[in-house]
Structure 1
Amino acid sequence: MVRAALAGLGVSIAAAPLGCFVVWRRMAYLGEATAHAAVLGVALALSFSLPLLPAIISAALAMGLSVSLLRGRGYAMDTLLGVIAHTALAAGLVTVALLSDVRLDLNAFLFGDILAVTKPDLATIWIGGATILALMVWRWSALLVSTLNPDLAQASGIDPKREELWLTLAMALAVAVAIKVVGILLIAALLVIPAAGARPLARTPESMAFTAAIIGSTAALGGLGGAYWADTPAGPSIVCAAALIFVATAILGPIFRKG
């Protein structure tokens, strides 16, 4: 439980600033698409005996690059994300099914297995999380300007597409390190829900990111406690705890702002 709690905290803190940009850019589906691409990364890693983490990051980055290249060709963003995300998920599942000599528990990847986190896994999560936070701090101003006003960013010498690629890289890394905690199908929820819950309480972008980290950490610990008490799956329990906090902030947010 201690390792599980530390893993949940590491993922929640790292996902908080990313989730804020996903909410601001109205690209919640991008998190889901990145997570779905991770399935293909897992399949490729097993097929060619590659390390799991680099394969997942590469697949997620390939998804992001594909979206960037195809966006200007008359397709809406949600259409592109839908096509690429579901194609990557289906291709990954088919590839895994064809690997007759490999035994793989897909449930652990799809829904997470935070209680099985080992010390090396914990080190990977925290190193990956620290890398994500360092990247966010480094690119924060440029990402913020390109998110709020792309024209102003262009006039200031900031390339919005380049910043979007940095964001995609950070999300790919977040997906790779979060698989053990909540699984591929629930990563998007951990990205979006804490940030959405923080929005009614925050007055600045920085305070929103900080509040999202608090909400995500509280959800991680609360979900683990609820899973232990009610004997429910830990990953979905964490997401349910985050959803409850979101409902509370949505109700109390207007009161907080008036105060």
Structure 2
Amino acid sequence: MGTPATTTISITKATDMFDDFLVRAIFAGIGVALAAAPLGCFVVWRRMAYFGDATAHAAILGVAFSLAFGLSIFIGTLTVALAMALTVTTLAGRGYAMDTLLGVLAHSALAFGLVAVSLQQGIRIDPMSYLFGDILAVSKSDLVVIWLGAIGVVALMIWRWQGLLTSTLNPDLAYASGIDPKREQLVLTIGLAVVVAVAIKVVGALLIGALIVIPAAATRAVTRSPEAMAASAALVGAASACGGLWLSYTMDTPAGPSIVCVAAMFFAATNLVARIGLTR
């Protein structure tokens, strides 16, 4: 059993490890991947890719909201992303065409957000860092927020997994089993809003949707159960984050887009493997 002095030294060394910006970036990417993976599976199963994009684009408006009222970026983006997701869900249930509605709201929120950010007086901010992410600038406090959000989303998905899965595969069976599909839709909406809020610093508003959808789509062709797909998607997302950061470090490319490029390569590879297996 270690002495108090030994324990203190170990904690200090662990803390010092996070002084390295690259270590913080790796842990941030893995945290976002773990949160996005289970949600991405439901987004793919429900064919809600554009829904995720609309929620992500609204995050820029949340950044402007945070700057205007002196709030944390996480609170502002979470509030606006959740409001956007709830608005889309409500209007879609009243007869509006989903694809048209998402196109109008997604692009409008992004445009209004960029205009609002540009109008902030006395605040110097690079909009590109929120559009495409700035994972290399993640601080220790950002890392805490990312991992708390990731743990919260994973816990929510584990808690509501069966209800979400049943309502996704067969809403009528869900009703017969005493599960309310609308409630499960709300759970998914909250999870998406949290992921958008924690991921905007990592990959940016324009690429969040890709990090949610691509790892899940990459594993769909090579897994045989929903649970295996969710776990595999988390591994692909984490590997994409690490691989993208390595690519960015060695080739001096933008970190956020590099992460998405690696995820896209995983998608191409797994689908190629699946097709080869089917032709044999």
The amino acid that maps onto 2:213 is V
Kindly indicate which of the two structures has a greater share of residues assigned to helix. 1
Partners of 2:101 and 2:183 in 1: CA distance: 19
Q: 1:133 aligns with which of 151, 154, 157?
A: 154
The amino acid that maps onto 1:29 is Y
Partners of 1:186 and 1:255 in 2: CA distance: 30
Q: Superposed, which structure 2 residues align to 1:1-259 within 5 Å?
A: 1-256=22-277
Moved more, 67-76 or 243-252: 67-76
Q: Deviations over 1:106-147 (max 9, x none)?
A: 111111111111111111111110000000001110000111
Moved more, 192-201 or 80-89: 80-89
TM-score by length of 1: 0.96
RMSD over aligned Cα, in angstroms? 1.4
Q: Percent same amino acid among aligned pairs?
A: 62
CA change 1:4–1:196 in 2 (3 A) is: same
Moved more, 243-252 or 157-166: 157-166
Partners of 1:46 and 1:151 in 2: CA distance: 45
Q: Deviations over 1:31-50 (max 9, x none)?
A: 11111111111111111222
Q: Secondary structure at the match of 2:265?
A: helix
Q: How much does 1:202 deviate?
A: 0.7
The amino acid that maps onto 2:176 is A
Partners of 1:210 and 1:258 in 2: CA distance: 26
Gaps of 5+ in 1: none
Partners of 1:218 and 1:235 in 2: CA distance: 14
Q: Deviations over 1:85-110 (max 9, x none)?
A: 11211111121122222221111111
Q: How much does 1:187 deviate?
A: 0.5
Partners of 1:201 and 1:257 within 8 A in 2: no
Partners of 1:256 and 1:138 in 2: CA distance: 35
Partners of 2:115 and 2:202 in 1: CA distance: 24
Q: How much does 1:254 deviate?
A: 3.5
Partners of 2:209 and 2:253 in 1: CA distance: 20
Partners of 2:158 and 2:35 in 1: CA distance: 11
Q: How much does 1:257 deviate?
A: 6.6
The amino acid that maps onto 2:82 is L
Partners of 1:67 and 1:80 within 8 A in 2: yes
Partners of 2:222 and 2:133 in 1: CA distance: 30
TM-score by length of 2: 0.89
Partners of 1:201 and 1:256 within 8 A in 2: no
Partners of 1:51 and 1:216 in 2: CA distance: 26
The amino acid that maps onto 2:54 is A
The amino acid that maps onto 1:198 is T
Q: Counterpart of 2:12?
A: none
Partners of 2:134 and 2:71 in 1: CA distance: 22
Q: Secondary structure at the match of 2:122?
A: coil
The amino acid that maps onto 1:241 is V
Partners of 1:224 and 1:155 in 2: CA distance: 47
Partners of 2:159 and 2:216 in 1: CA distance: 20
Partners of 1:257 and 1:203 in 2: CA distance: 14
Total equivalences in the alignment: 259
